[in-house]
């Protein structure tokens, strides 16, 4: 499952949805339209990244 940001092309509503797969139909919670586009808002830094899950005490300022 993934938490994904969307925008409705019909009414402009920004929202997020938990989806199980890419084929799952997403519907706007405001106007019930299916004209939805995925929005990419930036980087995600999760556990197990290049600096051991966010512990940057010895990474010489990798900038994450």
In a 13 Å sphere around the CA of 18, the CA atoms on its Cβ side amount to 1
Residues 6 or more apart whose CB falls under 8 angstroms from that of 15 comprise: 5, 6, 7, 8, 28, 29, 30
Enter the tokens of residue 55.
């512990």
Quick check: is 26 in a domain? yes
* Domain limits for position 30: 2-39
**Total structural domains within the chain:** 1
The pLDDT of residue 1 = 81
The pLDDT of residue 39 = 93
Quick check: is 17 in a domain? yes
Residues 6 or more apart whose CB falls under 8 angstroms from that of 6 comprise: 14, 15, 16, 17, 26, 28, 36, 37, 38, 39
The pLDDT of residue 10 = 97
Quick check: is 6 in a domain? yes
Residues 6 or more apart whose CB falls under 8 angstroms from that of 46 comprise: 53
Quick check: is 8 in a domain? yes
Q: pLDDT digit string (tens) for 15-48?
A: 999 988 877 899 999 999 999 999 987 766 555 5
Quick check: is 47 in a domain? no
């Amino acid at each position: 499952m993934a938490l994904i940001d969307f925008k409705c092309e019909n009414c402009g509503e920004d929202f997020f949805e938990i989806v199980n797969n890419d084929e799952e139909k997403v519907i706007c919670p405001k106007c019930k339209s299916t004209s939805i586009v995925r929005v990419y808002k930036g980087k995600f830094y999760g556990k197990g990244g290049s600096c051991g899950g966010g512990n940057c005490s010895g990474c010489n300022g990798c900038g994450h």
